[in-house]
Structure 1
Amino acid sequence: MKEEQTVCYSCTNENCFIKKHLHLEQMAAYISKKQNLICKRSDRFITEGAPLNGLYFICKGKVKTVKTGINGREQIVRLTKNGDIIGFRGFGTSKRYLIGAYALEDTVLCNFSNETILDILKHVPEFTYALMLFYADELNKSENNIRKIAQMNVRERVVDLLLYIHRKFGQINGIIDIELSRKEIADFAGTTEEQAIRVISSLKKEALIKTEGKRIGILDVTQLKSEILEHKYF
C-alpha cells in the first residue's frame, strides 16, 4: 500500500458521503486532514481486531469485508464499490475494528481519522443525519441476511448472491463487473466451495448464467428472480 493525495472537489465519485457534503462550508477544514491509500488487489488494509483508525471511503475500486468464524475461516459480510464506507461497524462504540477488509482490485481509499470523523459528527448535522440513515439501512440489510441463511437453501443463497452482485456492480459485455473466486462466492453465500461450484455448474447447464474464467454473467435475470421470489428479499 502507498499514499496518494486525491482532491475531493475534483473527484468524480458522486456517490461518496464526503462528496455529497462538499457544498457545506464546514467540510473544507476536514477534507484537508484526510489521507489516501492505494491498495493492490488482495491487499488487506484493515485487520480484524486492530485499533480503530477512522473510516475509509472508497474513491475507486472494490473491497470485501470479512469476519473470522470457526477454525479461523473468514466469512464475507459485505462487498463494496466506489462511494461505499468501510470500517463503520463498531465505530464510536469500540476501540478496535470488528471486521477485516481486502481490496478485490486496485483500489484508492480516502481515510478520515477517528478524531476527524467525530469532529464532523459533532459540528455538521447534515452529515450526521445522513450517516444515521446509512446505519439504519445497513441494520436492515444485516437482519435480512440473517433470515436468508436460516430460510434459504444452498441454491437459493447462491442465486440471491448472483442477483445481488448483478444489481450492485452491473454487467459489462454480459459479464458481472466483479471478479470473485468460487471460495469467495461460497463464503458470502454461507456454504462450502464444493456446493457453490455444483450450483454454478447447474445454473450454467440450465442456461441461466455463463462463465468466463472466474467471472460470471447472468443470462436470465427474470428466471433467477422467480427462484427466490417467495422470500421477498430481492
Structure 2
Amino acid sequence: MSAYISKKQNVSCKKSDQFITEGAPLQGLYFICKGKAKTVKTGINGREQIVRLTTNGDIIGFRGFGTSKRYLIGAYALEDTVLCNFSNETMIEILQHIPEFTYALMLFYAEELNKSENNIRKIAHMNVRERVIDLLLYIHRKFGQINGLIDIELSRKEIADFAGTTEEQAIRILSSLKKEALIKTEGKRVGIIYAEKLRSEIMEHKYF
C-alpha cells in the first residue's frame, strides 16, 4: 500500500467547516486521521438530518463512490479535524490491485447496510424518548467518556436531528433524563450516569 499511501492528500478543517457538499461531484474517499465529523442528508423542507458521526479512522463519502459519481451526503467537522483524501483514480487502482483492501471494504459496506436497516427499524418502532436514549448510548459507545462526560460536543439541535425529532422535544427529554439522575450535562456535553438503566428502557428493541 505504500505507493498508494504516498498519493494521499491531507486536508485540515476547522470546527464547523464543510468539506463535502451533498450533490457535488465525487472527489474520492476521506478518512479521518484526527478529529470528529458529522455526515448529513437533506430531508423534507431542506432540513439536514445527521445520518452518521465519525471519528479517528472512519471513512466518509463512501456511499457515492463508484455509483452515482456524486456525494450523497454532506459532511462537517465537529472540531478541528485532519482528514486524508484518496482521489477517485487512486481508489480505483487500490481496489483493482490490492484484493485484501477490496475484501475489507466489501465487509465494511455489508456492515453499514446492516446498520442502516437497523436504524430504519428503530425509527419505525421507537418512541422519541427511546430514540434519544439510543443516540446517547451510541455516542457513549463510540466516543467514550472523559471525566464523566461523553467525548463529543453536540448541540441540542444536532441531537434532535440525529434522533429524528424536534429541538424542543430533545431538550425536554434531556431535561427529564437529567431530573431522573440518569444523565448529567455541561454545556454541549452529556454524561451518562446509569447506562444500565438507559439500556433497560430500550432492551425490547434488541439494543445489543
Give the Cα–Cα distance (whole angstroms) in 2 for the partners of residues 94 and 118 of structure 1.
Answer: 15
Which residue of 108, 118, 121 maps to 1:134? 108
Tell me the equivalent position of 2:150.
176
Deviation at 1:93, TM superposition (A): 0.7
Give the Cα–Cα distance (whole angstroms) in 2 for the partners of residues 184 and 192 of structure 1.
Answer: 10
The answer to whether the 8 A contact 1:66-1:101 is kept is yes
Give the Cα–Cα distance (whole angstroms) in 1 for the partners of residues 2 and 121 of structure 2.
Answer: 42
Aligned partner of residue 118 in structure 2, secondary structure: helix
Tell me the equivalent position of 2:197.
223
Tell me the equivalent position of 1:164.
138
Tell me the equivalent position of 1:90.
64
Give the Cα–Cα distance (whole angstroms) in 1 for the partners of residues 205 and 188 of structure 2.
Answer: 28
Give the Cα–Cα distance (whole angstroms) in 1 for the partners of residues 165 and 124 of structure 2.
Answer: 12
Give the Cα–Cα distance (whole angstroms) in 2 for the partners of residues 60 and 194 of structure 1.
Answer: 32
Which residue of 67, 78, 81 maps to 1:107? 81
Tell me the equivalent position of 1:146.
120
Tell me the equivalent position of 1:28.
2
Give the Cα–Cα distance (whole angstroms) in 1 for the partners of residues 106 and 207 of structure 2.
Answer: 23
Matches within 5 A, 1:42-53: 42-53=16-27
- Is 2:187 the counterpart of 1:203? no
Tell me the equivalent position of 1:189.
163
Give the Cα–Cα distance (whole angstroms) in 1 for the partners of residues 117 and 37 of structure 2.
Answer: 21
The answer to whether the 8 A contact 1:144-1:233 is kept is no
Q: TM-score, normalised by structure 2?
A: 0.99
Deviation at 1:90, TM superposition (A): 2.1
Moved over 2 A (4+): none
Give the Cα–Cα distance (whole angstroms) in 1 for the partners of residues 207 and 176 of structure 2.
Answer: 22
Q: Where does structure 2 lack aligned partners over 5 or more consecutive residues? A: none
Q: Deviations over 1:40-80 (max 9, x none)?
A: 00000000000000000000000000000111100000000
- Is 2:194 the counterpart of 1:212? no
The answer to whether the 8 A contact 2:28-2:61 is kept is yes
- Is 2:14 the counterpart of 1:40? yes
- Is 2:34 the counterpart of 1:60? yes
Aligned partner of residue 89 in structure 1, secondary structure: helix
Aligned-residue identity in percent = 87
Deviation at 1:140, TM superposition (A): 0.3
What root-mean-square deviation, in Å, do the aligned CA atoms of Structure 1 and Structure 2 show? 0.5
Give the Cα–Cα distance (whole angstroms) in 2 for the partners of residues 174 and 196 of structure 1.
Answer: 21
Give the Cα–Cα distance (whole angstroms) in 2 for the partners of residues 169 and 95 of structure 1.
Answer: 31
Give the Cα–Cα distance (whole angstroms) in 1 for the partners of residues 64 and 17 of structure 2.
Answer: 22
Q: TM-score, normalised by structure 1?
A: 0.88
Tell me the equivalent position of 1:20.
none
